[in-house]
Structure 1
Amino acid sequence: MASAIIAGAGASTGAAVARMCAARGLAVHGARRRPPPQQSGDTFTVSAVDFRDEESVEAFVARVEESSGPVALGVHNIGANVQFSVADTTPQVFRKTWELAALSSLHFARALGARMASRGEGTLIFTGATASLRGAASFSAFAAAMHAKRALAQSLARELGPQGVHVAHVVIDGPVDTPFVRQLLGEEKYGLLKQRGGLLEPDAIAEHYWALHQQPKSAWSFESDLRPYAERW
């Protein structure tokens, strides 16, 4: 049996990807710093793992492979979307944001990449954002961290691709329909945006991730850009 690891398995996108993998027959193991309580009917488990700590990540991956078989798909879905002006971005905020998005990506890649390369197969997907491609006012820490995450994925694709490992980076370029976004926008703005098709649906994102995992080696995608059809860009 093969397994999947979802780093940053939250209640929305991460959970949707986990459900998709479980429905396709993979033994799914989610991870996040503070996992939610297990719900009745859940098809996957979520463990407490801080991906900023390399030893914890390595131990987690080893446990997964020992209990559920080789990891066929790994998804790094950890972000750190903070909003501060440069004047208010303290070194502590900048460092923590970089650790959450970029350093955790390195630990994820080191723990899974070598294992997949030794088997000559596997998929690693990194969730990006608009900030992965350009910085914006008040997003210096987030953009710097997400740029670093994208660059790591680029290098990793060039290193592991010839060894049979598919590395992909997905730019989520728009708001995702999550409780956090709903709260952030407010009910009125959220309702209008949803009505005109301006929100990305987590299940649709998960479908794309699975399609990436299923791509034949002769036509791999490295980077794709997902946006709602009503997005003005």
Structure 2
Amino acid sequence: MLPIRDHNPSGRTPYVVYALMAANIGIFLMYWPILDDPYRIASFFNDWALIPSEVSSGRDQMGLFTSMFLHGGFMHLAGNMLFLWIYGDNMEDEIGHVGFALFYVLAGLAAGMAQVLSEPYSHIPTVGASGAIAGVMGGYLLLFPKARVDILLILVIFFKVFTIPAWIVLGLWFAFQVFNGLLLDAASSGVAHWAHAGGFVAGVVLTLPLWLRRGGTGFWARTAGHPPHPETRYGRSSIPVVRRIRK
């Protein structure tokens, strides 16, 4: 199940989202030529990634920030940029450009610390913007729980786009992170699940003051959990449904 777009238009140009996407893509392209060189890329990540043991020992704190702009491969980058594009513009619209930039960095730092606390002695480099983006998703869930999100479902040769509320998409995503975080460590799964969960919770907490200023549960009552403006309407999806042929 892959979110591909929401029905929640933003009222202003998301300059910070554009800048973050440009920074992540630009930095990735800078070291992309050495991805296939295990020694050079290991050395690069050792210098710039988040390494929990280095942070917990107090030797290197910078990785908490720099790791937010590094990715382990093209699909890693593409997935994160898709999620940032879907949810980030609305959060920037609500918080403002400067506020959203600060929100993003704080959520990313919180995500990194969650990963450090989960595995304080790990020497495995952790990279990716997903912790910060998880914060964006947590804030989005608090403000727009019933915003409609289009999901691409892929089951072998079956492809279907359908629409479900944000609280289901994001709630399941968060539950998946916690569930896998309890069962797997980052070394065996290759995914920093606790960074994702920590970033998500941080995003909810950081958005609470805005939500309360809007009226808290009263804001939900006025909007019924939907975006407080007309939603985007899309035409019929051009993605075909391919069904198994019975012989």
TM-score class, shorter? under 0.3
By percentage of residues, which structure has more strand? Answer: 1
TM-score (norm 1): 0.27
Normalization by structure 2: what TM-score? 0.26
Structure label with greater radius of gyration: 2
